[in-house]
A and B are shown apart, each in its own frame.
Chain A
Amino acid sequence: MSAASLTATVAVVGNPNAGKTSLFNALTGARQKVGNYPGVTVERKAARLTLTDGRTVDLVDLPGAYSLNPRSPDEEVTRRVLLGAQAGEGRPAAMVCVVDATNLRNHLRFVLELKQLGLPMVVALNMIDLAERDGIRIDASRLQELLGVPVVTTVAVRRRGLDALLAELPGLIDTAAATAEPAVKADVRALNAQARAIAGQVLVSEGQGRKVTRAVDAAVLHPVAGPVILAAILFFMFQAVFAWAEAPMTWIEDGFAALAEWMASVLPDGLLLSLINDGIINGVGSVIVFLPQILILFFFIILLEQSGYMTRAAFMMDRLMAKVGLNGRAFIPLLSSFACAIPGIMATRTIDNPRDRLTTMMIAPLMTCSARLPVYTVIIAAFIPDRAVGGVFGLQGLVMFGLYVTGVLSALLVAWVLRRSVTKGASQTFLIEMPKYQLPVVRDVVLGLWQRALAFLKRAGTIIFATTVVLWVLASFPAPPENADKPAIEYSLVGRIGGALETVLKPIGFNRDIAIALVPGMAAREVAVSALGMMYSLEGDEDQVAMSLVDRLRSAWPLPTALAFLAWFVFAPQCFATLAVVRRETNSWKWMGFMMAYLFGLAYIAAGATYWISRAILGV
């Protein structure tokens, strides 16, 4: 830090919703490196910049905070970095403090608190254009005078004021930190009073703030219209996730099929080809195929977050969540889990309270993810008659809807039980700032989408790859004897494991074929469908297998078995990647084990109950 040749670290700090990330994105663009702080699941974003004098600085985007008195792991990291106490980060040489010009009164208090740290700093008076539009006039030079630090007006989304901001940095870095430790901490109320006094002096006119936001909120948060709008947005989102993803999913499937074909043309028939085609391409491909759906869902979630609507959704959902011991913030991760539990579990990072976060993670896999759909579709097509109920609804559609609802209700019930048992304790209350509405910025949407997709692929990709290789080994060895009369998988280790499982699964109505198919289904739920296809030695592409599987299942399985199979998939944690992500995010084998045990337990009970009750009703 002292040597001028070393690259200095400059921290970007500010209140949440001050436009800090937008400013960081505008300054650094695609140069960002996203990682984690060691030991905590808090994201670290940094980028190296070259200043006008040729020096380089590492700009670090610290999590948004209201104060240095942390109430969440995010804020704790911000505090620790600024005090030089965070592992994996040197103490910054200077700070860029981002302030929302339309919210000066509330944001100045944090600026004053940061100033006490004794680090050189520059204040970025951001969103000055919105302030002007609202008729808020700020005397920036007077503010600079009163604060005693440079003040630069910026509009991050339009890249205004960025050069002036960067031009302040060399001077700041050369200023030695006044004190290594913060000055005597002034009381929060004293700082508040000081902040209001300064705001009173620099606000030339107060303007009529948030006119647009108040008008939109009058409709969006209306007690009756609000929930209707929320439901409409969610409906549109899910509709789009499935409709828009259809074409790219076909391309991905075709791409993997072409790749497998090409492999078969260049490699000799044998173990290596089987590993690549049946193992890796088939297994990884069956998960990557969901990427379009996940990206589309991420896209909508980013739009909802950046526009400011997401906190309104949390506001409306809070009371419902509170009933099961969670709070409105849990809504967002649970929403993501409908595409895939992995991004959902990763999104629980926004929940401050560790017990709330854990509970949300534990119930995330109960949201019906896309990988369950192929399973549901095949079984419903085979066993549920295609007839109308009450004139309008198709019975098949109703069953599908029922499976979704069962998942959601079970999740709420499980959360309620967990909050009274294993994750007992005071829950986090719901206290959240509702930002003004803003049009999403293309740069921020694209960067956000890119970063989330990359995180998903990194996290899931490695796990999925390893899982598929292991399952291929289990499904391929030992090889069937010369005079084999049953499918090869029967002779393999998977067949033997499945055979052993049959004893356990028989009481809930599962036959040997199901038991065997469930083993490779641990890679992803939908793999169970192709495994069943393998069991019945069906040939052809996926659609043909599914079609002939429908016929085959109809004759091979009694109805109660099929219904029990559906019930099983509502609960069973048939996805190694999800379990592995839970282990990573909780940093605990215990919680991963707990999730696996409780979900398999519920799956067993639900499937068993479905089997015996439907047998009794049908009299078979």
Chain B
Amino acid sequence: MSEPVTLGAMSPGQRARIVEIAAEAGGSDLHLRLYEMGFDEGVEVEILHRGPIGGDPIAVQVGGMVVAMRRRDAALVTVSPVVAPLAGGAREAAE
């Protein structure tokens, strides 16, 4: 197992397993919407793309869906990076 990081800190090509989804401070239901879109603990995600300005937002593959989200919101999601067995592109973030 690698050290948990937030989804917002990941780069394109990286894959990770969701550890926890936190509720946003201020009481918005954002975490609920993330669950409704298919994010959930134990589900594997992959960062596919990042925005051209400042690398924000990011595009995340979850199940059969690609979701665009801002890094700030992605920080609600704690993940454990998966060392991708694929050749090239993918590299581990921690350890």
Contacts and interface: CB of A to CB of B under 8 A. Distances in A.
A431 B64 contact: no
Nearest to B70: A430
A176 B33 CA distance: 32
A315 B57 contact: yes
A110 B37 CA distance: 9
Contact of B38 (A109, A314, A431): A109
Nearest to A436: B66
B69 A431 contact: yes
A210 B63 CA distance: 11
A66 B30 CA distance: 12
A146 interface: no
A116 B53 CA distance: 43
Q: In the complex, which range does the number of interface residues on chain A fall in?
A: 35 or more
- Considering residues A100, A189, A434, which has the most beta carbons from chain B within 10 angstroms of its beta carbon? A434
A429 B30 CA distance: 9
A188 B65 CA distance: 18
Contacts of A319: 51-54, 56-57
A430 B57 contact: yes
Contacts of A188: 32, 35-36
Interface in B41-95: 41, 43, 48-57, 59, 61-70, 72-73
Contacts of B73: 429, 431
Contacts of B35: 188-189, 192
Most buried by A among B41, B56, B70: B70
Contact of A430 (B29, B34, B38, B69): B69
A322 B63 contact: no
Given A189-B35, A319-B54, A103 B63 contact: yes
B3 to A, nearest CB: 25
Contacts of A214: 48
A320 B53 contact: yes
Contacts of A192: 35, 38, 40
A196 B38 CA distance: 9
A69 B29 contact: yes
Contact of A106 (B30, B37, B68): B37
A105 interface: yes
Nearest to A432: B68
B40 A189 contact: yes
Interface in A293-319: 311, 314-316, 318-319
B88 to A, nearest CB: 13
Contacts of B72: 429
A153 interface: no
> Most A CB atoms within 10 A — which of B30, B38, B40?
B38
Interface in A423-456: 426, 429-434
Contact of B67 (A104, A320, A322, A432): A432
Contacts of A224: 52
Interface string A195-207: 0100000000000
A422 to B, nearest CB: 21
Interface string A275-307: 000000000000000000000000000000000
Given A315-B68, A318-B70, A223 B62 contact: no
B67 A434 contact: yes
Contacts of B48: 214, 217, 221
Interface in B17-36: 26, 28-30, 32-36
A103 B29 contact: no
A315 B48 CA distance: 13
Contacts of B57: 315, 318-319, 328, 430
Contacts of B55: 223
Contacts of A213: 66
Contacts of A318: 51, 56-57, 68, 70
A578 interface: no
A226 interface: yes
Nearest to A65: B36
B70 A66 contact: no
A58 to B, nearest CB: 28
Contacts of A322: 70
A67 interface: yes
Nearest to A311: B68
B36 A109 contact: yes
A102 interface: yes
Interface in A452-508: none
A535 to B, nearest CB: 48
Contact of A315 (B36, B43, B59, B64): B59
Contacts of A69: 29, 32, 36
Contacts of B29: 69, 71
A205 to B, nearest CB: 13
Contacts of B51: 223, 315-316, 318-319
Given A105-B63, A315-B51, A66 B26 contact: no
Contacts of B59: 217, 221, 315, 434
B64 A102 contact: yes
A209 interface: yes
A67 B30 contact: no
A227 interface: yes
Among B50, B54, B59, the most chain A Cβ lie within 10 Å of the Cβ of B59
A67 B32 CA distance: 10
Given A103-B63, A429-B73, A430-B69, A66 B52 contact: no
B72 to A, nearest CB: 8
Contacts of A100: 64
A209 to B, nearest CB: 5
Contacts of B30: 429, 431
Given A105-B63, A223-B52, A316-B52, A66 B68 contact: no
Among B34, B35, B37, B64, chain A packs the most CB atoms within 10 A around the CB of: B64
9 contacts: A66-B33, A106-B37, A109-B36, A196-B40, A314-B68, A318-B70, A319-B53, A431-B67, A434-B68
Given A189-B35, A431-B67, 10 more contacts: A69-B36, A100-B64, A315-B59, A328-B68, A426-B26, A429-B70, A431-B30, A431-B33, A433-B65, A434-B67
**Sorted from nearest, which 3 A-B pairs have the closest CB atoms?**
A106-B38, A103-B64, A319-B53
Interface of B: 26, 28-30, 32-38, 40-41, 43, 48-57, 59, 61-70, 72-73
